[in-house]
């Protein structure tokens, strides 16, 4: 159901969203610079010696945690709080809970930052045992996850309040997308909750002597794969429910959009073993089940490709586009928020293809733990998600600050540079990976580097340099917007809520009720993980004492 409304967020609500975004972007800025240093290291130029960082692995740990854990989670918390309040036309259920959530997450981030900056948590973002970090690192990450669960509680309470007053009405689309994302994540987070609270934290505090690395990795990937959809779904929310309006068109199909979000709830979870195809201790049968379901979770993304493209076509045609492809030219390429998202989608299509390579049981043998995998995820989280969040910032920051976006043309250039830089860098990564170059390795100083890797590494360095320029431009534009942006009511922007093409399309109840999908997810998880987990728990695998790389 289309639910246009003119709810204006209160000053305090805007401040909260801005605070989340500020912390997210502060971490992204450092994360991007560290990425540049990594690219240079692979090309043989060691910049770490000019900084206070001890080594490549400290920089890599910070790069991963800052970009994919902190930037994403804080941006998502702010953005989903915003769209939920906006589309329900009311503040979130509890202001106290909203601020408590923010402070719990912020205290967590301060602990994580301290541990990383002091080289006490150089264990890379996957926190694999037997690498052991300082307890502040694990404790801080637990607080960040607790914060996301508090946010879920607040969104659910707001939803229930709205439902009581609007019986029988379908949930407004923006809030629906936010709830589906958070419900999926609420279920998914149980894996790392158990891993961190009952294994890694007591182990790093010295309360237990040793941990089972395979069990620990299995719990991590139980949450780790759905985590990528926790990053992706807010971008999908923008592509489905906001971008068509920015293109001058309509949402092609409300039912398809709802079905796609709902499918992510059961299908995101039972796929974690596709990260462990090469791990011992997990039966081939269960790995095959997870591989099969991975091809299932590919489907809602294919539905998204179809629906979003069709929605953009309605925009291009409404703007006078003719012929099979002529409508593409008519899209608003001068709008940085549109252009950034359209380019993010183009690269995401390639990210999807490389995901299929990873997911194929046999091809995974060739690419696992090689540079091919970073090639994949810089197209997905590094572009589909990060560039879309930048695009959202281009209208959301002006809306929240009441300052018009500074340097619109420069912002279009920034999006194009990101596209070019990432195309070149991820091409270099995939190429190097297929030639056997390992990932997560200080390759610049590796004596075994093969001559055939060199050209690919140079592609990575050139792409990384272009990306760094794009990142700097992004921060200059937002900084100038805050400092010199012309004051205007709501920053001169309107929240671009797209209207469905078919007005008042009847929505089947199963596309508006979360309960059956949560039940389906629980059953699937029990089937796909239950016996494998029991096997791991009872196998008596040797627990390993671990060591701290600091």
Kindly give the interhelix angle for 372-379 and 408-434, rounded to the nearest 10 degrees.
160
Check residue 423 for interaction with ligand HAS (CB under 6 A): no
Instruction: Write out the binding residues for ligand HAS, residues 98-117 only, by CB under 6 A.
Output: none
Q: How far apart are CA 547 and CA 550, in angstroms?
A: 9
> In this chain, which stretch among 9-17, 378-386, 393-401, 426-434 interacts with ligand HAS, using CB under 6 A?
378-386
Instruction: Write out the binding residues for ligand HAS, residues 125-154 only, by CB under 6 A.
Output: 126
Check residue 294 for interaction with ligand HAS (CB under 6 A): yes
Nearest distance, CB of residue 341 and ligand HAS, angstroms: 9
Which run of H or of E encompasses 365? helix 361-367
> Which of 27, 134, 274, 403 is close enough to bind ligand HAS by CB under 6 A?
274
The DSSP-derived string for 52-75 is: S---HHHHHHHHHIIIIIIIHHHH
Nearest distance, CB of residue 141 and ligand HAS, angstroms: 15
The DSSP-derived string for 117-165 is: HTTS--STTTT-TTB---HHHHHHHHHHHHHHHHHHHHHHHHHHHHHHH
Cα pseudo-dihedral 387, 390, 391, 396, rounded to 10 = 160
Nearest distance, CB of residue 258 and ligand HAS, angstroms: 16
Check residue 356 for interaction with ligand HAS (CB under 6 A): yes
Point out the residue whose Cβ comes nearest to ligand HAS.
352
> Which of 2, 298, 361, 475 is close enough to bind ligand HAS by CB under 6 A?
298
Check residue 385 for interaction with ligand HAS (CB under 6 A): yes
**Backbone phi and psi for residue 4, each to the nearest 5 degrees, phi listed first:** -70, 140
Tell me whether residue 320 is exposed, middle or buried, using C-beta atoms within 10 angstroms of its C-beta: 0 to 12, 13 to 18, 19 or more.
exposed
Check residue 345 for interaction with ligand HAS (CB under 6 A): yes
Tell me the H-state helices in 386-503: 386-401, 408-434, 454-484
> Which of 119, 304, 314, 441 is close enough to bind ligand HAS by CB under 6 A?
304
Check residue 220 for interaction with ligand HAS (CB under 6 A): no
Cα pseudo-dihedral 337, 338, 341, 345, rounded to 10 = -170
Nearest distance, CB of residue 231 and ligand HAS, angstroms: 4
Check residue 61 for interaction with ligand HAS (CB under 6 A): no
Nearest distance, CB of residue 267 and ligand HAS, angstroms: 9
Check residue 342 for interaction with ligand HAS (CB under 6 A): yes
Check residue 69 for interaction with ligand HAS (CB under 6 A): no
Q: Where in the sequence numbering do the catalytic residues fall? A: 225, 229, 376-378, 439-440
Q: Report the residue number, 102 or 377, with the smaller CB distance to ligand HAS.
A: 377
Nearest distance, CB of residue 124 and ligand HAS, angstroms: 8
> Percentages helix, strand, coil for the chain, rounded to the nearest 5?
75, 0, 25
> Which of 355, 398, 471, 546 is close enough to bind ligand HAS by CB under 6 A?
355
Instruction: Write out the binding residues for ligand HAS, residues 222-261 only, by CB under 6 A.
Output: 228, 231-232
Q: For ligand HAS, how many residues bind (rule: CB under 6 A)?
A: 34
Check residue 275 for interaction with ligand HAS (CB under 6 A): yes
| Cα-Cα-Cα-Cα dihedral sign, residues 126, 129, 130, 131 | positive
Q: Report the residue number, 93 or 274, with the smaller CB distance to ligand HAS.
A: 274
Q: Report the residue number, 356 or 534, with the smaller CB distance to ligand HAS.
A: 356
Q: Report the residue number, 83 or 342, with the smaller CB distance to ligand HAS.
A: 342
Check residue 380 for interaction with ligand HAS (CB under 6 A): yes
Quote the distance between the C-alpha of residue 429 and its chain's center.
Answer: 20
Q: How far apart are CA 347 and CA 179, in angstroms?
A: 27
What length is written for the chain? 550
Check residue 381 for interaction with ligand HAS (CB under 6 A): yes
Cα distance between the two ends of the chain: 55
Cα pseudo-dihedral 54, 60, 66, 72, rounded to 10 = 180
**Which tokens sit at 8?**
């204006």
What is the binding site for ligand HAS (CB under 6 A)? Answer: 126, 228, 231-232, 274-275, 294, 297-298, 301-302, 304-305, 309, 312, 328, 342, 345-346, 348-349, 352, 355-356, 358-359, 364, 368, 373, 376-377, 380-381, 385
């Amino acid at each position: 159901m289309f639910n246009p409304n003119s709810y204006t967020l209160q000053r305090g609500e805007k401040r909260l969203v801005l605070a989340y975004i500020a912390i997210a972007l502060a971490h992204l800025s450092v994360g991007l610079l560290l990425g540049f240093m990594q690219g240079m290291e692979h090309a043989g130029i060691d910049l770490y010696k000019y900084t206070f960082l001890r080594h490549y692995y400290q920089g890599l740990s910070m790069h991963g945690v800052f970009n994919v854990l902190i930037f994403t989670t804080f941006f998502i918390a702010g953005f989903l709080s915003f769209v939920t309040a906006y589309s329900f036309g009311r503040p979130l259920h509890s202001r106290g809970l909203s601020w408590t959530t923010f402070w719990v997450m912020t205290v967590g981030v301060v602990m994580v930052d301290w541990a990383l900056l002091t080289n006490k948590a150089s264990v890379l973002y996957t926190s694999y045992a037997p690498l052991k970090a300082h307890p502040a690192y694990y404790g801080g990450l637990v607080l960040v996850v607790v914060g996301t669960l508090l946010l879920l509680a607040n969104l659910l309470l707001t939803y229930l309040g709205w439902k009581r007053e609007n019986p029988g009405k379908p949930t407004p689309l923006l809030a629906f997308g936010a709830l589906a994302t958070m419900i999926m994540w609420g279920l998914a987070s149980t894996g790392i909750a158990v891993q961190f609270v009952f294994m890694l934290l007591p182990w790093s505090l010295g309360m237990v002597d040793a941990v089972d690395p395979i069990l620990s990795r299995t719990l991590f990937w139980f949450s780790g794969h759905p985590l990528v959809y926790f990053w992706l779904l807010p971008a999908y929310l923008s592509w489905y429910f906001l971008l068509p309006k920015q293109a001058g068109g309509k949402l092609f199909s409300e039912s398809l959009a709802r079905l796609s979000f709902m499918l992510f709830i059961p299908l995101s979870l039972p796929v974690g073993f596709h990260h462990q195809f090469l791990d011992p201790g997990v039966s081939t049968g269960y790995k095959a089940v997870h591989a099969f379901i991975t091809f299932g979770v590919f489907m809602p993304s294919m539905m998204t490709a179809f629906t979003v493209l069709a929605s953009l076509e309605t925009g291009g045609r409404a703007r006078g586009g003719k012929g099979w492809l002529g409508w593409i030219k008519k899209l608003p390429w001068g709008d940085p928020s549109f252009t950034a998202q359209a380019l993010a989608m183009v690269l995401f299509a390639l990210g999807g293809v490389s995901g299929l390579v990873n997911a194929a049981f046999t091809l995974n043998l060739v690419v696992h733990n090689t540079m091919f995998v970073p090639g994949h995820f810089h197209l997905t989280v590094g572009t589909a998600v990060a560039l879309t969040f930048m695009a959202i910032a281009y209208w959301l920051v002006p809306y929240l600050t009441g300052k018009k976006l500074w340097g619109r043309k420069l912002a279009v250039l920034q999006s194009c540079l990101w596209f070019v830089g990432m195309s070149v860098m991820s091409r270099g990564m995939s190429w190097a990976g297929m030639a056997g170059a390992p990932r997560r390795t200080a390759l610049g100083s590796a004596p075994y580097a093969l001559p055939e890797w060199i050209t690919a590494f140079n592609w990575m360095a050139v792409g990384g340099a272009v990306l760094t320029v794009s990142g700097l431009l992004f921060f200059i534009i937002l900084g100038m917007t805050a400092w010199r942006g012309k004051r205007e009511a709501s920053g001169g922007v309107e929240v671009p809520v797209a209207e469905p093409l078919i007005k008042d399309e009847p929505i089947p109840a199963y596309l508006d009720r979360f309960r059956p999908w949560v039940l389906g997810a629980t059953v699937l998880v029990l089937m796909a993980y239950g016996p494998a987990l029991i096997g791991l728990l009872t196998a008596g695998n040797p627990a390993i004492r671990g060591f701290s790389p600091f």
